[in-house]
Structure 1
Amino acid sequence: MSLIELFLVATGVSMDAFAVAVCKGLTLPRMNWKHAFIVGLYFGGFQCLMPFLGYLLGSQFKDVILSFDHWIAFILLGSIGLNMIKESFSQEIRDCGDFCLAPGPMLLLALATSIDALALGVTFAFLSVKILPAVSLIGFTAFIFSVLGVKVGNLFGAKFKSKAEFAGGLILIFMGGEILIDQLFGF
């Protein structure tokens, strides 16, 4: 997986964190960079940790399912992407709650926004991705998007939240399709 492809994947899985960070930014009466960095650390940290755990899990089963790993990558990335696109069209207004940085609520939000990164880590094991640089880039990308999400939420409100989820979903579907086509046809 090239650096550009990895960055696109990192961007795709960061969109849930971005969307929640926008929600957090909505609750701020004025922009507070300290709060934005705390949100970024939670989301970036989990986006880094979860694919690493998925990689460890996937590495245990790599030899068993190597012959159909590209289908697994396609299905996982495609389903994550489709779910993100579906959520982007949801008319449901999610309650972002108070701008609370208590560890309990933030850990739950960070975990919820990084479940797709766990599945991505399983995919990385099948693709023999160098995991430490990959998870570092994913964590850093999620950190940046989360900090920016708090700022965007504070400036513009919920206007861009659904567009970010939609774009992230498209990126993941594209990457899953590219992996499948590459393995099936050698492009």
Structure 2
Amino acid sequence: MSWIENLLIIAGISLDIFGAVECQGSLVKKINKVHLAIICGLVTLWQLAALFVGHFLSDWIYIRTSEQSEMFLGHAIAIVIFFGLGIRLMVKAVKNERIEEHCETNLGFKRFVRMVAVTSLYTLLTGVAFGLLGTSFLGLVAFIILFSVVVVVAGMYTGYHYGFEFKNKAYVIGAVLLWIAGVDVTVRCVMDIL
């Protein structure tokens, strides 16, 4: 896969984190920069670990060989993962779960650990898809680090200044990016067969 395709996929899954952090940012009285840095580190490490485990699982589940049927199966699984994650984000956007905004002096790390644990499951699936498509894990590390930090900081400040109203737009954009990736993989798979 090209770096642009990898960028779109990582951006798509990262927008889920943006929405979750935006909701938390809407609750804080003041953004604590040290707290924000720790959250950035936590999210980044957890995302890297989930992507690595997913990539490892793809090698364990599916050994890439030159057989066309196994390559097709790997591409089909990756396509299902990308479309499925896109559908999940779109459902979150449509549900538009409201949160009760109230001022909190300290959000604590417990809620961020729970949030990151849930979102990392989807990053794990994305790691499986990347592995099945033959994407190098090391090529993805910079994207995960960059997007994890950017979406946490942007989500926190967006929530702090504007509330949680932009989360639905982030979910829709994330879904569209993942669907674009799914269509791209489908087209490449069909072209390989022909």
TM-score normalised to structure 2 length? 0.87
The structure 1 residue matched to 2:88, chosen from 83, 88, 108, is 83
Deviations 1:124-146 (A, max 9, x none): 11111110231331232122111
2:88 matched to 1:74?
no
Deviations 1:105-157 (A, max 9, x none): 32221111121110011111111111023133123212211111101110111
Instruction: Report the equivalent of 2:6.
Output: 6
Number of residues of Structure 1 aligned to a counterpart in Structure 2: 186
Distance in structure 1 (CA, Å) of the matches to 2:155 and 2:130: 27
Instruction: Report the equivalent of 2:139.
Output: 133
TM-score normalised to structure 1 length? 0.90
Instruction: State which drifts further: 136-145 or 59-68.
Output: 59-68
1:9-158 counterparts in 2 under 5 A? 9-63=9-63, 65-94=70-99, 99-102=106-109, 104-158=110-164
2:167 matched to 1:161?
yes
Shift of 1:66: 2.9
Shift of 1:35: 2.5
Equivalent residues of 1:46, 1:139 under 8 A apart: no
- Identity value in percent: 24
Distance in structure 2 (CA, Å) of the matches to 1:45 and 1:139: 8
* Unaligned runs of at least 5 residues, structure 2: 65-69
Distance in structure 2 (CA, Å) of the matches to 1:30 and 1:21: 14
Shift of 1:63: 2.5
Equivalent residues of 1:59, 1:126 under 8 A apart: yes
Aligned Cα root-mean-square deviation (Å): 2.0
Shift of 1:95: 5.9
* Unaligned runs of at least 5 residues, structure 1: none
Larger Rg: 2
